[in-house]
Chains A and B, each alone.
Chain A
């Protein structure tokens, strides 16, 4: 380090933050342009937001060519972070596409909405490349604050405000836990850099304070991924929040938080990992699935299912890093594809004021709109974990990773859980195909943007199910690069 010059970030370091920069710029452009536009033009703003997301994808590709640290070792671009960037920004693009229709039908102010989605994505994607706990905290807050507001975006619906408030109160509480954990960890190891913490924890005797630090951080993060027993908020928030937003917040921030958890658990050599994961994974799978069994609202059903899926994903954390990390990465990607797709269908079908979100509203969709029903069926089958879909390979990969580490009990629990879970997803399929259509439920034609969003999620789900090789290889390479 030669004095003050080292303090100034180099040009390449900005490239390592390029997707976030692009997204912030576009977010600001939208916020500024919104009041200047004479007429309400939700579609134009949406198109700008989409352009921003696509450029951010391109920026991610550029960024991938320059791996390394940036900004005083707070950001690290490697195959791991690039993988999550692609997932997160890809999800954002699809969510923006699904929002076109929703904004018009609901008559919402588009400027703030798209701006917030882009800002949320900034925080979310930054989380996957941040390797310093304070920066992780900031990124987590950027992403969380955006989603708090987005959750309450249907201002006229009381249920949406309730969702927002609930999410905000409990969420801030959870991030406070995280911050407290960071402080304790700093006290225990003298650093907030994940790498240094890892070095300390792996080479010296683990101080008791570190256990407390990890536990508190884990509470904060487990809240964000809706893992039991920190999942209570999920069904209410998912029910109240706008459907495309739920598609967003159940996938992108979750993937990012899992990325943080992966770094924390494996790179920081978190003590007590196996026991912690065992309990939380087992609880999430079981409580999520049991809760979903009795739901009659599709959004609540998918909320409980997302709790269960967080549990499956956590099973990979109990495995050794070599097989566990790629399994978790693949699971995050495939869950993002299928869940964002499922919520696209839900948001199209729900209509103005989200009137049709009950299970029985889907009666006879198989004959009134065969294509829509078929698409939703594929996503549901993937959520069950039926072959030819990404969900199957993901589960398979996670469970086999856990078995390689001899976590037989956890795997049996997981496998049994996924068998039970089949029931509630099937209920929806059964309702769609084996009941008579209800006259009063209108099924409108799918607009182009929504159609593209569904097609993309569908393609991703099937691709990950039939030819998972490339993605798995990439994830494997990411880990090799990381642990080297």
Chain B
């Protein structure tokens, strides 16, 4: 673990896309070279990021059950001073949660490049530059262990994403881009205020130091401020997730975004919210999290059921998938705030599974849009006849998304629901209805798009998947099976981090029982 690469791997994975993007600005001229270059850079980054889970040390807590959090939660750490006053460090590292989210990002980006090969015809260079810059910012969010750095990357994701939507989107793209930007920007202002307060009281932005300062009660006035700090962080993350009732930017953003934008938006950006809740709301304010869990879980349940019901009646394919995201992410929040190992494991697993299935769903929707330039479900029907391979891929991904056993969606949902059930039975039961709803709207949508006879004659001649499109769809499909069949590969790494995250909660629990 002490080789040079281990210290620098996270930095490399984070900044290779940015470097690639900058090179792209000056280097290739022809559009084809641009795409190829972006593909090479993002694939290289993916290969490099495989190092993170491959050499991850699994059980740092072995031999010290219930021991102090001093063991190595974060790995591949690098901590360099960046600015002296205020005391800001370039502190990066990953734990079992963020390692997988980094991998999810690096996995989806090359697929985004592939899927945008043809659909982006104008301003190609800017598109791929923005995509690669976005990748760096996203990875940066997950690996930052300095709150300033985290906020830095958090805000930095906004610009490339808003530009991707606004420059390459459809119809009401400007409105959608602005709405997306303002919602996130205004919400994260509250987080900034909370971060600044923490800095003012602790004199550091370092996550680990702040965490230990809070746990050891070294922060003055914390009991008064903690509810507000919790809220400050929570509002920023809830908008990103998005949780009912601050979800309204998401359908607009998704519908107008170009395919690659949607894939990264659903696949990774939304996870920034749930990741933030885990890392900061739970990690820094476990007692507050516990206290607020009941209403947060109610919001999560509303998101699950409301999202699913609204998805059911959507005439627009992309809007339907967008609302299904709201529903699925509600499940993740439910798992996080259940405060059980099962629920947390499941929530994180569900984050990954959702990233892959919904990412793939958006790619599939994009493929259809490239052929027909519409997302209206009523424009299709009977597509299984002209596009059999496409239809099979679609069915497979739909099944993984609705949680068919042996596919990735099932594992996460099952764990989350059993965790929620253990916390409070009624939450588990209500949450479980979400699974039923998702089966309803997804299968109904599938039926309307693919089954029956071809209604519109124009659809008769639609070409089936090209080699490139198949190349983009096979990886998520294979991964969906792998994650469903051998989830332990993922859960083993996740559980390390979850145990660490739950530790302070168990301390609270014991504190509570003491006289």
Contacts of B199 in A (CB 8 A): 400, 403
Residue A195 at the chain B interface, CB threshold 8 Å: no
**Stretch of A147-155, A239-247, A426-434, A455-463 lying at the B interface:** A426-434
Main secondary structure of the interface of B (DSSP, over half): helix
Q: Are the C-beta atoms of B156 and A387 separated by less than 8 Å?
A: yes
Q: Tell me whether A201 is interfacial, beta carbon within 8 Å.
A: no
Q: Determine if B84 and A412 form an interchain contact, defined as CB atoms under 8 angstroms apart.
A: no
Interface residue A69 (Cβ < 8 Å from any Cβ of B): no
| Alpha-carbon distance A434/B166, docked complex (angstroms) | 6
Whether a CB of chain B sits under 8 angstroms from the CB of A290 is no
Chain A residues with CB under 8 A of B155: 386-387, 392
CB-defined contacts of B200 to chain A, threshold 8 Å: 400, 403-404, 406
Contact B196 A400 (CB under 8 A): yes
Question: How distant is the Cα of A459 from the Cα of B186 in the complex, in angstroms?
Answer: 28
Q: List the one stretch of B174-182, B392-400, B413-421, B486-494 in contact with chain A.
A: B174-182
- A422-B185, A423-B182 known; A434 vs B153 contact (CB < 8 Å): no
Which residues of chain A have C-beta atoms less than 8 A from B178's C-beta? 423, 426, 430
Residues of A contacting B12 in the complex (Cβ-Cβ under 8 angstroms):
none
A171 to nearest B CB, angstroms? 35
Tell me, rounded to whole Å, the shortest Cβ–Cβ distance linking B306 to chain A: 27
Report, as a range, how many residues of chain A touch the other chain.
35 or more
Q: Is the CB of B174 within 8 A of A434?
A: yes
* Nearest-Cβ distance from residue A166 to partner chain B, whole angstroms: 34
A396 surroundings in chain B (CB, below 8 A): 86, 148, 192, 196
Instruction: Tell me whether B181 and A426 are in contact (CB under 8 A).
Output: yes
Q: Choose one: B82, B151, B190; the contact of A469 (CB below 8 Å).
A: B82
Contact with A along B73-93 (1 / 0, CB 8 A): 000000000111110000000
Among A252-260, A338-346, A413-421, the stretch in contact with B: A413-421
Q: Is the CB of A386 within 8 A of B189?
A: no
- Bound-complex Cα distance A468 to B178 (A): 30
A415 to B181, CA, bound (A): 16
What is the chain A residue whose CB lies nearest that of B86? A400
A476 touches B166 (CB 8 A): no
**Chain B interface residue count: which class?**
20 to 34
For the complex, is B167 an interface residue (Cβ under 8 Å from A)? yes
Contact among A408, A422, A430, A434 for B197, CB-based, below 8 A: A408
Cross-chain contact B181 with A422 (CB below 8 angstroms): yes
Give the docked Cα–Cα distance between A407 and B174 (Å): 37
A367 within 8 A of B: yes
The residue in chain A whose Cβ has the minimal distance to the Cβ of B152 is: A387
Choice from B82, B174, B186 contacting A419 with Cβ under 8 Å? B186
Interface digits, B472-493 against A, CB 8 Å rule (1 contact, 0 not)? Answer: 0000000000000000000000
The CA-CA distance from A366 to B166 in the complex, in Å, is 12
Tell yes or no: A473 within 8 A of B by CB: yes
* B29 contacts chain A at the CB level, 8 A cutoff: no
Tell me the complex Cα distance, A430–B177, Å.
9
Judge whether B101 is part of the interface by a CB distance below 8 angstroms.
Answer: no
A433 touches B166 (CB 8 A): yes
> A392–B185 Cα gap in the complex (Å)?
13
Query: 23 A-B contacts, Cβ less than 8 Å apart?
Result: A386-B155, A387-B153, A392-B152, A392-B155, A396-B196, A408-B197, A411-B193, A415-B189, A418-B189, A419-B182, A419-B186, A420-B186, A422-B181, A422-B186, A426-B181, A426-B182, A430-B166, A434-B177, A468-B83, A469-B82, A472-B83, A472-B85, A473-B85
Identify the B interface with A (CB < 8 A): 82-86, 123, 126, 148, 151-153, 155-156, 158-159, 163, 166-167, 173-174, 177-178, 181-182, 185-186, 189-190, 192-193, 196-197, 199-200
